[in-house]
Amino acid sequence: MLGASIALVASQGASGAPLGVLQRPMLDELGWSSAQYSLSATLSSLLGGVAGVIIGPFLDKFGARRLVFFGAVVIALSFFGLSQMNSFIVFLILAALAGALGTTLAGPFVVNVTVAKWFVVNRGWALALGSTGVSIGNMLWPIVMTNLVDMWGWRNGYFWLASIVLGLLVVSGLLLRSKPEDYGLLPDGVGVETADSQRKSDYLRVVDDSENSLTRGQALRTRSLWLISGAYGIHMAALVAVLMHGIPFMTDSGFSRNIAASAMAINGFANLCSKAPWAWGLGRFPVRYLAALTFASSGTGVGLMLIATSFQSLPLLVLGFFFWGFGFGGTIPVGESIWADYYGRKYLGAVRGVGKPLTIILASLGPLLVGWSFDIYESYRGAFFFLVVGYCFGAVMILNSPRPRPTHV
């Protein structure tokens, strides 16, 4: 769990709030447009979808450790290169390498599948605990990177980002383990021989999860795979768009860079506060209802951001980022639980990988369209309104995603 949390702190540095912190200083020096900068996130997302299909079966077979080490090297070398580049083409290539290959190998996809393989009964709490790394990363990275970039410039910012992410991922890789069966264990520490009725029930749940795990081919024939993939594609489109454009959106509305960075950090605080409530809910309510609620919370947050920037209201801005972060905080424990609960843990890497392209295609459009809209209208307001609409649409898709029938009765 510690290894998972550290990896997710690093992943937020590689693909989260630092993108927004670095944007304006880079554009001011290099003379690029917001859409050009956003194209890097779009390209990263699209290539990451392809990488996920390939990496999923390797994750099931070999585990996370080697993948995380390789991803760490890719991210670090790419960021070191970005600290020295002046060419837009070089920027796209290096950003795509870090965001597509590096983050897929050493980010939430590999880490969360690994955590889900270790737990069935306590999966919600385990995913919530592991994903505290996302919360911590979102609290620390905006403030740390804003100070680094404002003091020493965006090039040194990339250099320090590369160094810190590399160190965190090396530590994470040393701590991660692939699956309990490799060590003669079963998920949740259950065993066959036990006189305790509760532990016997837990053992039967673990067996049922294994027997009813769907293969990639079986999962492809279920309607829910496409609805869930599409819904989380919309969610990711909005998420990355806010992470990339949130700070410029706030500064263009009259807030200072320090206030904007602090507002982004509020998202991390709310993310952290949300873990226990979402994990508690996973043991008591249908997972798709909770998933829809995470979308509703995030959409409410973006709506409050729009109102706050219209009236220069700092309290509403803080409230907006809190609601957005609270919903964002449910993405990992609830979002990953819906995949594991619906399709089982045995082939989870392959199933998640095959659903990834649709998610990524939709996700890739978010930051690019928001940047393109800003270049045309010189305002983020219209684009952020459509992010709210997107969250609502995603919630409806999730609510209409039934759990596949068991393969064994």
Return the sign of the alpha-carbon dihedral for residues 271, 275, 277, 281.
Answer: positive
Range picked from 46-60, 165-179, 286-300 for highest mean pLDDT: 286-300
Average pLDDT estimate for 134-142:
83
For residue range 341-360, list pLDDT tens digits in order.
888 877 887 887 787 778 87
Query: In percent, how much of the chain has pLDDT > 90?
Result: 37
- The whole-number average pLDDT for the span 367-378 is 88
In the prediction, which pLDDT does 15 show? 74
For residue 32, give the 3-state DSSP assignment: coil
pLDDT for residue 137: 82
Angle at 332 between CA 328 and CA 180, to 5 degrees: 165
Q: Which residue has the higher pLDDT, 231 or 11?
A: 231
33: left (phi over 0), alpha (psi -120 to 50) or beta: beta
Residue 217 Cα distances to 237, 338, 398, 405, angstroms: 27, 18, 21, 15
Indicate whether 135 pLDDT > 90. Answer: no
C-beta separation of 383 from 90 below 8 A: no
pLDDT at position 209, please?
A: 65
DSSP result, 44-58: HHHHHHHHHHHHHHH
CA distances (Å), 391 to each of 263, 273, 292, 327, in order? 20, 21, 9, 11
In this prediction, what percent of the chain has a pLDDT beyond 70? Answer: 93
Structure tokens at 139: 């609290």
By C-alpha distance, which of 390, 393, 367 is closest to 380? 367
Average pLDDT over the chain, rounded to whole? 86
The pLDDT of residue 104 is above 90: no
Please, which residues have CB within 8 angstroms of residue 256's CB and are 6 or more apart in sequence? Answer: none
Confidence class for position 7, pLDDT limits 50, 70, 90: confident
pTM: 0.74
Give tens-digit pLDDT for 32-78: 888 888 888 778 777 876 777 788 788 888 888 889 999 999 999 99
Banded model confidence at residue 203, pLDDT cuts 50, 70, 90: low
Cα(69)–Cα(114) distance, integer angstroms: 15
46-72 as b/e: b if 16+ CB within 10 A = bbbbbbbbebbebbbeebbbebbbbbb
What six digits make up the tokens of 202? 């837990």
Q: Which span out of 51-60, 135-144, 206-215, 368-377 was modeled with the highest average pLDDT?
A: 368-377
Contact criterion met (CB below 8 Å) for 245 and 20: yes
pLDDT digits (tens, 9 = 90+) for 82-91: 999 999 999 9
Q: What distance in Å separates the CA atoms of residue 254 and residue 408, rounded to the nearest whole number?
A: 59
Overall average pLDDT of the 113-138 stretch: 81
Statement: residue 211 has pLDDT above 70: no
User: By the 8 A CB rule, do 143 and 260 touch?
Assistant: no
Token readout for 206 is: 């673990």
Tokens encoding 199 = 């532990």
CATH code of the domain made up of 2-177+215-399: 1.20.1250.20
CA atoms within 13 A on the CB side of 200: 5
Residue with tokens 């980022």: 321
